[in-house]
A and B are shown apart, each in its own frame.
Chain A
Amino acid sequence: MRCTIWLTILSVWCLTGTSFALEVVRFAPLPMEDRETVMKQFRPMTDYLQQHLGISIEYVYADSYANILEKFRNGDIDLAYLGPLPYVELRGSHPQAEPLVHFKEASGQTTYTCGLAVFADSTFPLKNLKDKKLALTQPLSTCGYLSANGLLRQHGSSLESNYYRYLGKHDAVALAIVQGLFDAGGLKTAIGKKYAHLGLTIIDETDPLPSFALVGNKATLKPELLNQIRHALIAIDPEGKHRTMLADWGDNIRYGTVPSDDTNYDVIRELLGEVTIPDEGNF
């Protein structure tokens, strides 16, 4: 009897031998902050997915948003953590990009805002701002040109009336302002607030935008796996049994998730409208 059981197990193992090789999923986090911070934020989440889904997750790191989108389109990335604008750009050229879940903000909302930040001792008024130096993240960053220009326009100004330059990451924008290299800058409000102890002040912020999302590549991953990833993340209960586990997760992703849908991004599409975002700064 025991022999039979072992033989059966052996046969099944032989027949399904390949299934023991874990499926590899290539994940790219958006390089919003320095690499170490980004890795620290996402590592617990990818560990959780690996454990629950029996997959192996490899990190694909790129410093440019455009680079990530290009790799995604080429099938070199299976899963990415993207902000709304990068997603809308990606979806426009790659319909197989599928938003799986939105990450909730600390407020519990599935929206976030982008803000304009200055150093605490700055005295210039925002109205009709002119000839100031502004730090931006990346052309494809939601909180970059798109939001900063929108906010300035609300105050009778625009980026083109000022000097702006892309610095890449949100924390780089924050620190550049603290260091006095720029007068102001556009960044995600939540990140900006992390530098309040260095005198960084948010002086204006946008209306709520759809929060960051985990985007799957239908061209490279099976629909079943995408669904499994979505369900694994939705099943997380931030107020209940997963509270302790989430404490180690990055502050961008530790407040739970809700299912995502492409229609959520219509607001970004409207905001984008006919605006053409320059690829480089103007000074």
Chain B
Amino acid sequence: MGKQLKHLVARYGLIAVMLSLSIGLGLFLFINMQKKQTSHFSEHQHTLDTAYRASLQMYHLAIENFYSSTINRNDILQLLETAVTSQGPQQDLARGRLYRKLFPAYQALKTEIPLQLQFYLSDGTSFLRFHKPDRYGDPLLEFQESVRLANAEKRHVHGFETGKVRSGFRYVFPLIYQDRYLGSAAVSVTAKGIRDALAKLDPNREYTFLVNRDLTEPYIFPEQQWLYSPADIHPDYLLEDANAILPDSPPPLSAGATAINRQLRKNQQVQAALKQGRPLTTHATVDGSSHIVSMLPIMDIKGLTAGYLISYAQDPVSAAFFTEFVIYLTTMLFVLAVMTILMLRIRRWTVALSSEKHNLQAMNNALAEGVYVTDSKGSIERINPAACKALGFSEQDLLGKTAHDLFHCHSDNAFLPKDDCPFFTAISQGQPYQGEEIFRHRSGSILTVELASRPIWVSGKLIGSVTAFHDITARKATEERLKQSEEISRKLSTAVEQSPTAIIITDLDGIIEYANPQFLQMTGYGEEEVLGNGARLLNSGYMPNGFYKELWRTISAGRTWNGEMLNRRKDGDLYWELNAISPIRDRYNCITHYIATKTDISGRKRMEETLRENEEIQRTLMEGLPIPLVIIDAATRIIESVNPAAAQLIGSPEEEIVGNRCHSVLCPAQEDSCPILDLNQSVDSSEKFLIRHDGRQTPVLKTVRKITIKGREKLVECMMDIRDRLEAEESLRIANSQWKEATAKAEQLAEAADAANLAKSTFLASMSHEIRTPLNAILGYSQLLQKDSELHPNHREQIQTINRSGDHLLELINDILEVSRIEAGHVTLHPVPLDFRQLMADLASMFKLSCQQKDLRFDMALGQELPRYLNADRAKIRQVLINLLSNAVKFTDHGQISLRASGSTTDQLNWLIAVDIIDSGPGIDPGEQDKLFEAFEQTSSGRSSGLGSGLGLSISRAYAEQLGGELLLEKSAAGSGSQFRFTFSAQQCAGDELQLTPSGNRCQIDSIAPQFLPIKALVVEDDPNSRNMLCETLAEIGFSVEAVASGEEALRQVSKWEPDLVLMDVQMAGMDGYQATRHLRSLPNRKQMKIIIVTAGGLASCDLSKQTIEAGADDYIAKPFKTTELYTKLKSLCGFDYLYSPVTITQKSAGEIPLNPEAVQNLHESLLAALKQAVDDGDMIHFSELLDEVGASDGALRDYLSTLADRYEYEKLLNLLSQA
């Protein structure tokens, strides 16, 4: 324990002492700095206190003077007496005069001191406030101690006090006139006054004045509350007008002081001092700048801490104290550290030296070698025990003697004089010496020693030498014997090394001790890999059990073992070796090792194995080959061998076939004309007949080749039964002939069909253009004419008839074109969110009316599972259902029509909706059901009705298939009605995606707004009717219009006239519309010009759009178009606005609109029928267009009908139209 403590003290004592010293000195420096800082703070606090008192004193003197010279005068006191003793207007007058009298003096003093002046009555009520003249009459006695004291004790009272308006230093003077106590006058200096005075005394400081929240908040006027805000430094204190809104408020605190306040809010010492009302000076650092903050509590008249005066100033002194402390501390620590390091190092050196000396002594004594030290004369000064022992002398015998004289002799044991002794000469001259020398033992025996001697020099002077030696007499004798033995070994070794046979020598456990190069080459191992390993390293694992036991038994018995074994080389290859293993015996005839000689016989073994395998393969091949094979001796033409397949083909056992001549079985017709043996062909591959054992001939494909086996020529024949192949070839030949005939016929039919289809498409396109162009003119002009307000009513109706007929014709063409588009695959889906239940309800409302008119019952059933909102092509679904329901109503004369819908889904997202339309009509003849859905096909009842084009069901089925469903006639029989099933797939969606189109105001376009005019439009159209119609349509709303009849003219006119807009027809003689557009777009500076393609072609909209973009036009419009459609396009393209006629539909309840029944009757018969038909068909778009015509003659009726339609009140609508 004591040792450990000593060790610890020795090791860490110095460090502990130095650390204690550092801490002590550090503490001393810190306390020193604290003392300086406390002294500095105290000085600062004292300065603030003195300045504050000086400021108060200054004001005190000024206010005392003001009181004695201005207030406490007879005239003033007399005036005050009048005021306090009178009432009403008299008192007001006196108060006013007092104010008037004192105001100039008050004003003069106020310019010097920010003060407040107030008179109190003897009961403590405020009588007159000079600083707030409109407020008076409020009691102050209870609240202001100064007033209470002055009133009670009739003496001057002064001190800090909070007020109802502001806080400050109040000086209250009792006012006595002719022994009558009138009341008191108080002069208050505001916080700003104190602050200003302090700032004058010490402008380097910033000041703030806080008031005690508890002594202020309950007493100030409510409307003054906003002026006070909590102080950042402590929540118990308030700051007056922190933002300096009022003119006599102190300036707001600087950002630095505000930051210091926030910092000190977290300082426990500061918080405690403020809480207890103690003065305190402290230090704060903000943004790297050092500040000193002094807090002086302000006591009020009652002796309570009413507030705090706080000063802020830059404080380089504290920072300097701290810097000084840091420098001293750093220097001290550095010096102590250096001292510690030096002392530690010296101590380590001392210990090391002592230890080294001790070690050297021990080493010297422990050395096996003899060592002795001599002086410059050769006398032995020191000698180690080993040297004494080797020489047989004691240490005392040798010390002071000379080695040369005592024990050094020479090889022949002769004595040499010192000067001739090379060893003595060398060490005497200070030279090192090394070599073998002869020493004589004390007993007289001669020792051969190996010695080394080195001179010892001190400060350049030879003072002696040190000699070390050891006895090598025994080693010398051994070396001699070894030399002889090595010679014999070298010879034997060379023989073994050069041996072509692999040789290894193992110990009795089989561990290899030697392997010659041939062994290493044979096994592939390196010498280091085999030495120390057992011979089982080569074990392949394939030798039988007991093999190695037998081997060991043989050699352990001292016999030689000979044999073959399969071993494994390093690379994993197996090899056979021939072994001879013999024991090696020592001179006692004991077995010490085994020697094995090994020869690699793998090549021989491999050859033997290959031969055996080849024989096996040949035999297996012959017997297992599925191809008949025969071997014939070429010389004798005798069959030598057949395989089982050949025997089976021939139909005889092998033994019956072998030994026969080949021609008797294999090719009887070719006796003496064998292609190989007789015709010298190398190979024969041909179809032949062989003779079966029953004499039948079998066709075979035979391949014959001549081979040589062991010098004899043989024929090898392979055969294949080709009976099945010959039969198949015959069948194929017949089928080929039939296919060629059918192909030729199909090609003829396809050519005919292509021609027919081309003819149809050409006809449709041509018809479309030829009909649409004039139809465009008809519709355009009829719409233009309707705008003529002076038109005779009869003529208007006739024009409306023309317009509707045109519309009907257009719909028919559109149906035909739709079929054409469907066939061409141009119809695409436009899925939108739809309210499916609402859609079905609308359809039910529509068709219920039609059914009532024919005394039919109508019912609808919707499955509970059906989702309300779906995402699907609403227009197509609606068209299919209307078509099916219209057909049902059309062909049913009695009974009922049912509409049923159901849905199925697997994932609640994707639905398959099925709608059944069931009628009790005449049914469809089974013979007509096949053609029901074909275009232009009508049933007999359809034809007899004379209605429809026969396209409806064809279009509907195409739509159903596009919608991912189908349209089927589920069941129908003559006289028992029909049931159609329409299915489509749709996705469920959220209802809020539905975009409901609100019905809006209907306006009629009058003209383009004047600020956008003029706009120049060029019409390019070769058809004069269309051209004129288009020009008038554009001119009608204010365009400046010019027209040309061809693309070439258009180019010239555009360059000359520079229009803003071009309406370009497509089909024109010469340059067509697309070419003309491309040319126009290549003209310089015409990029801003808008071009609209006007086409009568029946192309799908996507194709039109593509061609329009490719040509460089901005948009297209298809003929015939409605005027409003053209106007809308022009507006969006050119970006102008229209002026509209304000035709606003009043959204009243339909029931509230007074309607004159004659109004409907006044409509033209054809218009009425068209309206009714539109409602019947549920075609509310067409209905809406017809309403424009109604509006031309009767706006109110149009609004009424529109409102009914918007509210889905189809029943009422139809009743109304039917009444007329």
Residues 196 to 253 of chain A near chain B (Cβ within 8 Å)? 196-200, 248
Partner of B92, one of A40, A171, A179, A197: A197
Q: Taking the nearest CB of chain A, how far is it from the CB of B129, in angstroms?
A: 11
Q: Mark B722-754, 1 if CB is under 8 A from A, else 0.
A: 000000000000000000000000000000000
The CA-CA distance from A17 to B36 in the complex, in Å, is 54
A-B contact count (CB 8 A): 55
Q: Which of B89, B99, B222, B246 contacts A178 (CB 8 A)?
A: B99
Select one of A40, A178, A196, A199 contacting B223, CB under 8 A: A40
Query: How close is B207's CB to chain A, nearest CB, in angstroms?
Result: 22
Query: Is the CB–CB distance between B99 and A35 below 8 Å?
Result: no
A39 and B245 contact, Cβ closer than 8 Å, known pairs A171-B134, A175-B133, A195-B133: yes
In the complex the two chains form, what is the Cα distance from A37 to B247 in whole Å?
A: 12
Cβ B103 vs Cβ A196 within 8 A: no
Could you say which residues of chain B place their CB within 8 Å of the CB of A199? 89, 92-97
Interface size class of A (residues with CB under 8 A): 20 to 34
Q: How far is the CA of A120 from the CA of B94 in the complex (A)?
A: 10
Q: Who on chain B is nearest to A180 by CB?
A: B100
Query: Measured between alpha carbons, how far is A198 from B136 in the docked complex, in Å?
Result: 10
Which residue in chain A gives the minimum CB-CB distance to B247?
A35
User: Contact: A195 with B134, CB < 8 Å?
Assistant: yes
Indicate if A255 sits at the interface (CB-CB under 8 A).
no
> Which among A35, A120, A171, A200 has the highest number of chain B CB atoms within 10 Å?
A120
B224 on the A face (CB < 8 A): yes
B226 at the interface (CB under 8 A from A): yes
Of residues 114 through 144 on chain A, the ones whose CB sits less than 8 Å from some CB of chain B are: 119-121
Q: Which residues of B contact A44 (CB under 8 A)?
A: 223
The answer to whether A196 touches B92, judged by C-beta atoms less than 8 angstroms apart, is yes
**Given that A35-B246, A178-B99 are known contacts, is A40 also in contact with B224, CB under 8 Å in the complex?**
yes
User: In the complex where A35-B246, A36-B246, A179-B100 touch, is A198 in contact with B223 (Cβ < 8 A)?
Assistant: no
Set of chain A residues within 8 Å of B226, measured between Cβ atoms: 39-40, 43
Output the least CB separation between A120 and chain B (Å): 5
B308 CB to nearest chain A CB (Å): 25
Size class of the B contact interface (CB-based, 8 Å): 20 to 34
Q: Which residue of A lies closest to B104 (CB)?
A: A179
Complex contacts, A155 vs chain B, CB 8 Å: none
Given contacts A178-B100, A179-B103, contact A197 B95 (CB under 8 A): yes
CA distance A120 to B92 in the complex (A): 8
A196 to chain B, nearest CB (A): 6
Question: Could you tell me which residues of chain B, from 78 to 109, have a CB within 8 Å of some CB in chain A?
Answer: 89, 91-97, 99-100, 103
Confirm or deny: A194 has a beta carbon within 8 angstroms of a beta carbon on chain B: yes
Q: A197: which B residues are within 8 A, CB to CB?
A: 91-92, 95, 136-137
1/0 contact trace for B190-222 toward A, CB 8 Å? 000000000000000000000000000000001
For chain A, residues 20 to 56, give those with C-beta under 8 angstroms from any C-beta of chain B.
35-37, 39-40, 43-44
Q: Out of B93, B222, B246, B247, which one reaches A121, CB within 8 Å?
A: B93
Identify the closest chain B residue to A196 (Cβ): B92
Q: Contacts A39-B245, A175-B133, A178-B100 given: A120-B93 contact, CB under 8 Å?
A: yes
For chain B, residues 45 to 94, give those with C-beta under 8 angstroms from any C-beta of chain A.
89, 91-94
Measured CB to CB, the closest approach of chain B to A99, in angstroms, equals 27
**A210–B223 CA distance with the chains assembled, in angstroms:** 27
Per the bound structure, the CA–CA distance linking A171 and B223 in Å amounts to 18
Q: Are B223 and A120 in contact (CB under 8 A)?
A: no
| Closest residue of B by beta carbon distance from A36 | B246
CA distance A171 to B132 in the complex (A): 11
| Residue with the greatest number of chain A CB neighbours at <10 A, chosen from B136, B137, B226 | B226
A153: min CB distance to chain B, Å: 28
What 1/0 flags go to A182-200 for Cβ under 8 Å of B?
0000000000001111111
A43: B residues at CB distance < 8 A: 223, 226
Q: How far is the CB of B1129 from chain A (nearest CB, A)?
A: 36
CB-based contact A179/B246 at 8 Å: no
Task: Kindly identify, within residues 133 to 160 of chain B, every residue whose CB is under 8 Å from any CB belonging to chain A.
Answer: 133-134, 136-137
Q: Are A248 and B223 in contact (CB under 8 A)?
A: yes
**Cβ–Cβ contact B134 & A194, under 8 A:** yes
Give Cα distance in the complex from A248 to B100, angstroms: 31
Question: Which residue of B has the minimal Cβ distance to A119?
Answer: B96
Give the complex CA separation of A36 and B223 in angstroms.
10
Q: How far is the CA of A194 from the CA of B137 in the complex (A)?
A: 13
Residues of A within 8 A of B93 (CB): 120-121, 199
**Interface 0/1 of B218-260, CB less than 8 Å to A:** 0000111010000000000000000001110000000000000
A198 in contact with B99 given A121-B93, A248-B222 (CB within 8 Å): yes
Least distance between B692 CB and chain A CB atoms (Å): 89
Q: How far is B244's CA from A35's CA once the two chains are assembled, in angstroms?
A: 12
* Residue in B103, B134, B137 with the greatest tally of chain A CB atoms within 10 Å: B134
Task: Knowing A35-B246, A178-B99, A179-B103, say if A198 contacts B133 (CB, 8 Å).
Answer: yes
Given the known interface contacts A171-B134, A248-B223, the answer about A120 and B96 at a Cβ–Cβ threshold of 8 Å is yes
Neighbouring B residues of A175 by C-beta, 8 Å: 133
Docked pose: A200 CA to B95 CA in angstroms: 10
Q: Give the distance in Å from the alpha carbon of A91 to the alpha carbon of B255 in the complex.
A: 42
Q: Distance (Å) between the CB of A141 and the closest chain B CB?
A: 19
Does A200 contact B134, Cβ atoms closer than 8 Å?
Answer: no
Closest B residue to A175 by beta carbon equals B133
Q: In the complex, A175 Cα to B107 Cα: how many Å? A: 13
Which residue of the partner chain, among A35, A120, A194, A248, contacts B89 with CB atoms under 8 Å?
Answer: A120
Nearest opposing residue in chain B for A43, CB measure: B226
Q: Which residues of A sit under 8 angstroms from B103, Cβ to Cβ? A: 179
Alpha-carbon distance between A141 and B103 when the two chains are bound, in angstroms = 27
Min Cβ gap A274→B in Å is 37
Residues in chain B near residue A179, CB distance under 8 A: 99-100, 103
Determine whether the beta carbon of A198 is less than 8 Å from that of B246: no
Give the nearest-CB partner of A40 in chain B.
Answer: B223
State in angstroms the CA–CA spacing of A44 and B99 once bound together. Answer: 31
CA distance A37 to B221 in the complex (A): 12
Inter-subunit contact B222/A198 (CB<8 Å):
no
Instruction: Specify the chain B residue showing the minimal Cβ separation from A39.
Output: B245
Q: Name the CB-closest residue of A to B245.
A: A39
Known: A40-B223, A194-B134, A248-B223. A178 touches B247 (CB 8 A): no
Please give, as numbers and ranges, the residues of chain B lying within 8 Å of A248 by CB-CB distance.
222-223
* Min distance, Cβ A122 to any Cβ of chain B, angstroms: 11
In chain B between 324 and 378, which residues have their CB closer than 8 angstroms to a CB of chain A? none
Least Cβ–Cβ distance between A106 and chain B, in angstroms: 15
Q: How far is the CB of B672 from chain A (nearest CB, A)?
A: 103
The interface residues of chain A lying within 8 Å CB-to-CB of B134 are 37, 171, 194-195
A40-B223, A40-B224, A179-B99 are known contacts. Are A198 and B92 too (CB-CB below 8 A)? yes
Of the candidates A121, A197, A200, the one having the most CB atoms from chain B within 10 angstroms of its own CB is A197
Q: What's the nearest-Cβ distance from chain A to residue B657, in Å?
A: 91
Bound-state Cα–Cα, A35 to B247, Å = 8
Q: CB-CB < 8 A to B133: which residues of A?
A: 175, 178, 195, 198
Q: Are B222 and A200 in contact (CB under 8 A)?
A: no
Would you give the shortest CB distance from A63 to chain B, in whole angstroms? 11
In this complex, what residue of A is CB-closest to B223?
A40
CB distance from B220 to the nearest CB of A (A): 12
A143→B172 CA distance, assembly (Å): 40
Chain B residues contacting A171 (CB-CB under 8 Å) are 134
Report the 9 A-B pairs with minimum CB-CB distance, sorted nearest first: A199-B96, A198-B96, A40-B223, A199-B93, A120-B93, A199-B92, A194-B134, A180-B100, A179-B103
Q: A35-B245, A179-B103, A248-B223 are in contact. List 16 more A-B contacts (CB 8 A).
A: A35-B246, A36-B246, A37-B134, A39-B246, A40-B224, A43-B223, A119-B96, A179-B99, A195-B134, A196-B92, A197-B95, A198-B95, A199-B92, A199-B94, A199-B95, A200-B96
Identify 24 residue pairs between A and B in the complex whose beta-carbon atoms are under 8 Å apart, listed by A's number.
A35-B245, A35-B247, A39-B226, A39-B246, A40-B223, A40-B224, A43-B223, A44-B223, A120-B89, A120-B92, A121-B97, A171-B134, A179-B99, A195-B134, A196-B92, A197-B95, A197-B136, A197-B137, A198-B133, A199-B89, A199-B93, A199-B94, A199-B95, A248-B223
On B, residues with C-beta under 8 Å from A are 89, 91-97, 99-100, 103, 133-134, 136-137, 222-224, 226, 245-247
